Amino acid sequence: MPDATTLYLILPEITLAVFGMVILAVDLIWRERSRAALAWLTVLGFVIALATALLGWGWNMALFAQMYVVDTFAIFFKLLAAIAGILVTLVSLDYLRDRTPYRGEFLALFTFAVLAMMMMASSASLLMIYLSIEFLSYMSYLLTGFLREDKKSNEAAIKYFLYGAITSALMLYGLSLLYGISGSLNFADITATFAARNDVPTRIVALVSTALVIAGLGFKISLVPFHQWAPDTYEGAPTPVTAFLSVGPKAVGFAVLLRVLLTALPAFKNEWIALLTVISVLTMTLGNLVALRQKNVKRLLAYSSIAQAGYILIGLVSVNLNGASPFSGLNGVLIYLFAYLFTNLGAFTCVIAIENATGAVEIDDYKGLVKRAPFIAALFVIFFLSLAGIPPTAGFIGKFFVFGAALREGFLVLAAIGVINSVISVFYYFSVVRAAFFEAGKDTAPIRLAPPITFSLVVSAALVLVMAVYPEPFFNLAAWSMGMFGVAK
């Protein structure tokens, strides 16, 4: 039986597990009447999880035989997960109404997906990493294919599933090698092993397993060349799920990647930095170039989010843990992820709002949007500015820290490629804005917004702007969260 402290520290996980099951049960008993109430119940669950996650702030404990770590780094990602959960639940309310009769199950699976994200953030053992990643993946497959009458949703899910299953098997092989070399599942023992043994065969094992693990996590983060699923899945999935996939798994994927690389494999820093640099360049460039040709907004945002993963990776590549400089690379990753969460969720919320009203997701359908829905059009501009990294938006702050770290570490070329890519991205983001503002559309009926969506839009936009104008708290938050990696505040 775990002791009271343990239970206290995993309260957010317990909350979500309980809420998930309660939602299933309530849905079972109350089928007809409970539909709308269920969504609010889910939101309540996320809010409680958010609050309880904050209770663990400042702790640094390894629980369950060192398998599960609750530290500020994990809490940071748990907060992200809970916030993403709240916003996505709010926007899915209207979207799901006419599309599926199984809304209770949807919300329950979604709750479990957020739970899996939280578990990923805290995992510090090969077993927990694998388990929580698979948990999140399975829930994502199911949510993606949830509209089972919809051919695109089916297709998106099967592609996502097949890619995910193959890459997770690859990653699992890498994990088994790490277990074999160290005889233990815990990161601490693995680090100790590699610190003690540094012969060439051991390095080869470490390299092969690192590459395999990056393959598995690269799939979650949608890094090139493990990105092929992303555009199709983003296009076909129910749009709230797309919004979720583009931020949730990506953020915690980075969390796991950071934890594995920095706590289990720091001995091979040079090797994985080289590997990730190449991947980062490929990811940014390919994502942006292909995004230029897209006609579908969901697809465009998919490629855009691939490119964003490339930028974030720059922060990880330029990680430097032994300085008092504000650019440690890591804080760039965290700040960027925080900014990206609200920006991308906001952009997708705009897409959902328009899709709910008109069913359209092509860029051409956005023509004349400013007349039909000036509010959405204006917000679109804010979110796109942020995605492109233009001040005064949160995205700019993120890029500032990430590129700054690259410059500090002397990755001049990498930083330059990043900046060039940002410039390219402006073109396709602007193509949507141009359609919305400067071209006349056929349809002129105004678009009405449901209150939950408005709320979520306002929150996202406000945070995107606040982060840019007053970044200090967020900067501190990120700095705090890196305490576990030995970085002073």
Figure out which of the listed residues 156, 335, 387, 467 binds another protein, where binding follows CB under 8 A.
Answer: 156
Q: Among residues 3, 32, 98, 149, which is the contact residue for another protein, using CB under 8 A?
A: 149
Considering only residues 84, 93, 142, 373, which one is a binding residue for another protein as defined by CB under 8 A?
A: 142
Q: What is d(CA 424, CA 418) in angstroms, rounded to the nearest whole number?
A: 10
Of the candidates 257, 259, 309, the one whose C-alpha atom is nearest the C-alpha of residue 281 is: 309
For position 289 contacting another protein by CB under 8 A, the verdict is no
The label of the residue with tokens 């890591």 reads 330
**201 binds another protein per the rule CB under 8 A:** yes
Q: Which two tokens stand for residue 264?
A: 């289990």
Contact set for another protein, span 322-341 (CB under 8 A)? none
Q: Is 271 in the site for another protein (CB under 8 A)?
A: no
Q: Does 295 bind another protein (CB under 8 A)?
A: no
Report the run of H or E that residue 171 belongs to, with start and end. Answer: helix 151-182
Structure token pair of residue 267: 């001995």
Smallest distance from another protein to CB 19, Å: 12
Question: Alpha-carbon distance 25 to 22, whole Å?
Answer: 5
| Binding segment (CB under 8 A) for another protein, from list 177-185, 241-249, 368-376, 470-478 | 177-185
184 is a site residue for another protein (CB under 8 A): yes
Note whether 199 binds another protein by CB under 8 A: yes
d(CA 73, CA 59): 10
Tokens of 290: 């292909």
Q: Are the beta carbons of 68 and 478 closer than 8 angstroms?
A: no
Stretch near another protein under the rule CB under 8 A, chosen from 87-95, 127-135, 394-402, 406-414: 127-135
Angle of helix 374-388 relative to helix 412-438, nearest 10 degrees? 170
| Residue of the chain from 62, 158, 275, 289 that contacts another protein (CB under 8 A) | 158
Q: Which is nearer to another protein, 28 or 51 (CB)?
A: 28
- Judged by CB under 8 A, the residue of 82, 93, 108, 301 near another protein is 108
Q: Pick the closer one to another protein by CB: 151 or 269.
A: 151
Nearer to another protein, 202 or 263 (CB): 202
* Position among 9, 84, 126, 424 found at the interface with another protein (CB under 8 A): 126
187 sits near another protein (criterion: CB under 8 A): no
Nearest to 260 by CA among 151, 434, 132: 132
CA-based nearest residue to 375, from 448, 463, 468, 466: 448
Length of the chain: 489
Q: Does 5 bind another protein (CB under 8 A)?
A: no
**Chain residues 455-484 in contact with another protein, contact rule CB under 8 A:** none
Rounded to whole angstroms, how far apart are CA atoms 470 and 472? 6
Q: Which stretch binds another protein (CB under 8 A): 36-44, 141-149, 333-341, 463-471?
A: 141-149
Q: How many residues bind another protein (CB under 8 A)?
A: 73
Q: Is 67 in the site for another protein (CB under 8 A)?
A: yes
Sign of CA dihedral 116, 120, 124, 130: positive
Tokens of 445: 């009926």
- Restricted to residues 209-248, the positions that interact with another protein (CB under 8 A) are 228, 231-232, 235-236
Residue 89 and residue 82: Cα distance in Å, rounded? 10
CB 279 within 8 A of CB 286: no
Residue of 50, 81, 109, 449 that binds another protein (CB under 8 A):
109
